[in-house]
Amino acid sequence: MQASEAIRYSEGPFQPVIDKCEGCERVVEENDTKYCRVYIKPEAKWRLGICNFATHAKPEIKVVKVRINPLKASKRASRRR
Ligand code: SF4
């Protein structure tokens, strides 16, 4: 009986994942070859930087802390009403 999964990655235009995809939850394996569930060409995705769909790698996000004086903020909020 055929598996319920209708997509056949090896028969489509899908290209295998690259080393950087290792560990990503979107990797699917078919016939001992790993494919990406969301990208046809994983290699092209990584050429521009970190893949934005990667579940195992995240770009460094810099958090800039903005100091807010709570007193002034509440005054500003009440003025708007
Ligand atoms: S989502 Fe990105 S990192 Fe994950 S398998 Fe696909 S191309 Fe690779």
Residues in a beta bridge with 16: 35
* Ligand 1 contact via 26 beta carbon (within 6 Å): yes
CB 31 within 8 A of CB 16: no
CA angle 16, 20, 25 (to 5 degrees): 75
Which amino acid, one-letter code, is at 33?
Answer: T
* Ligand 1 contact via 34 beta carbon (within 6 Å): no
CB 35 within 8 A of CB 16: yes
Please give the average pLDDT of every successive group of 10 residues along the chain, which has 81 residues.
Answer: 66 93 95 94 93 87 76 78 61
What pLDDT, on the 0 to 100 scale, is given for residue 64? 76
What pLDDT, on the 0 to 100 scale, is given for residue 1? 46
CB 43 within 8 A of CB 20: no
Backbone angles phi, psi at 13, to 5 degrees: -80, 10
